[in-house]
Amino acid sequence: MKYIHPKYKSTIGKTIVLWFFNSNRYVIADETTNKYIELFLTSNSFDDFENSISIYNPKINSKELYLDIESFLIDSNKIDSQHIQQKYSNLDQGYETNISYLYSTFTKPIQVNYASQLLKSYLHPNLSYLLEKNSFHFQLSFNILENDEHILLYKNQEFQYAFLKKDYHKLQGKFNFLLLCELYNKQESDWLGTFHASTLGNEKEALMLIGDSGNGKSTLSALLMAHGLDLISDDITAMLADNLHVYRNPNAISIKQGAFEVLKPYFPKLDSYDDVFINNTKGYVKYIPPSNTNPKKFDFPCNKIVLVKYDQNTPSTSLSELNPAKALETLIPESWISPNPKHAKLFLNWLETVEFYSLTYNNNEEAISKFKSLFSN
């Protein structure tokens, strides 16, 4: 049987990242695992593989390893067979929705029309600080509709996507992506990817914060913004392929209820912001608007990634270099990366330039100081 090799391989520190074209899948491997895969791919038969393994590591079960690698390669090359949604027709020009808002973003005004209060709750709280009460001319509009099965997303009356109702988070991601395309006059194919990360800058460069939900990423982002840093994006950070810069995203910072008291001293208007119920897991959140609402610069180089974790039991706040594998295991699974092979290569090349850090904190002031020390200028 002929197995499909990874199309690209990149070495980042002692971590190897493999990219498979068919599945657009990135696999993180250590040096030993990568060696086993290489021996498998260069063997003409199981006997060849067994002979090679007996030299490299005579103690390992070659048959079991052979079957594991075979299964791994088959799985890694599976084409993503996402359910293709029904193609809905475009809207009639005279179509009206129940709820309509005008938002004044930093590059162009937009109108978003919602068919229900529930649909409004998925998008409006993030953008409510941009609400424009006076009528103005706009060239960009979105319609958010629904039927018995799907949530429907339209741009300028043209159908874009349909999502199962339980997948409302996909609506949020796609709406945000389409909005960024319009704000910067780009096509979806121009972007290298969108990362599940918050990003802050100092007018010259940007640093990316990653971390699992509940580890204090958004809270720290808000504190850093309150201490003079510029919020480039919260939760969704987009990178353009042409220049490998991250781009400003107009979303507000989503803050969970447990952080309200911590942030009150820094945001006097916090109590006046609406409490928005997300789900039984996340509970209520508030949205803190970016402090820089009239930016002059919209894109920044970004070559540092910080894995953030709030731990009240840690003896002291610590900042240290991080094994790239640990950072990538957090960054890659929850990000969208373009399937274009040129973009995949650019992404891997960019990762080779990135410095990875771990910031574990229990003291806000110390965390702010240590984070700021990572900026080059």
Element (H, E) at 122: helix 117-127
What secondary structure does DSSP assign to 222-250, as a single string?
HHHHHTT-EEEESSEEEEETTT-EEE---
Q: Are residues 263 and 354 in the same domain?
A: yes
Q: Are residues 37 and 68 in the same domain?
A: yes
Would 20 be classed as within a structural domain?
yes
Q: Are residues 196 and 153 in the same domain?
A: no
Give the per-residue pLDDT at 85. Answer: 57
- Contact (Cβ atoms closer than 8 angstroms) between residue 28 and residue 17: yes
Q: Could you tell me the residue range of the domain that residue 140 belongs to?
A: 99-183
> What is the per-residue pLDDT across 58-116, written as a single tens digit (0 to 9) for each?
889 999 999 999 999 999 988 765 554 567 888 875 566 779 999 998 888 899 999 99
Q: Are residues 340 and 274 in the same domain?
A: yes
Q: Can you tell me the distance from the alpha carbon of 188 to that of 99, in angstroms, rounded to the nearest whole number? A: 28
Q: Can you tell me the distance from the alpha carbon of 319 to that of 77, in angstroms, rounded to the nearest whole number? A: 38
Q: Can you tell me the distance from the alpha carbon of 56 to that of 42, in angstroms, rounded to the nearest whole number? A: 14
Domain-terminating residue out of 164, 183, 202: 183
Q: How many domains does the chain have?
A: 3
pTM, entire model: 0.91
Q: Are residues 211 and 337 in the same domain?
A: yes
Give the per-residue pLDDT at 334. Answer: 86
Would 1 be classed as within a structural domain?
no
- Contact (Cβ atoms closer than 8 angstroms) between residue 225 and residue 232: no
Q: Can you tell me the distance from the alpha carbon of 96 to that of 163, in angstroms, rounded to the nearest whole number? A: 21
Tokens representing residue 45 in the block: 């038969």
Q: Are residues 162 and 206 in the same domain?
A: no
Tokens 């949205």, located at residue? 287
The predicted model gives 50-60 an average pLDDT of 91
Q: Are residues 168 and 202 in the same domain?
A: no
Q: Are residues 285 and 250 in the same domain?
A: yes
> What is the per-residue pLDDT across 159-203, written as a single tens digit (0 to 9) for each?
999 999 998 988 999 999 999 999 999 999 999 999 999 999 998
Would 32 be classed as within a structural domain?
yes
Residues 6+ apart with CB under 8 A from 104: 130, 132, 136
Give the per-residue pLDDT at 5. Answer: 92
Q: Are residues 132 and 249 in the same domain?
A: no
More confident residue, 349 or 2: 349
Domain-terminating residue out of 151, 183, 215: 183
Q: Are residues 362 and 230 in the same domain?
A: yes
Would 88 be classed as within a structural domain?
no
Q: Are residues 165 and 206 in the same domain?
A: no
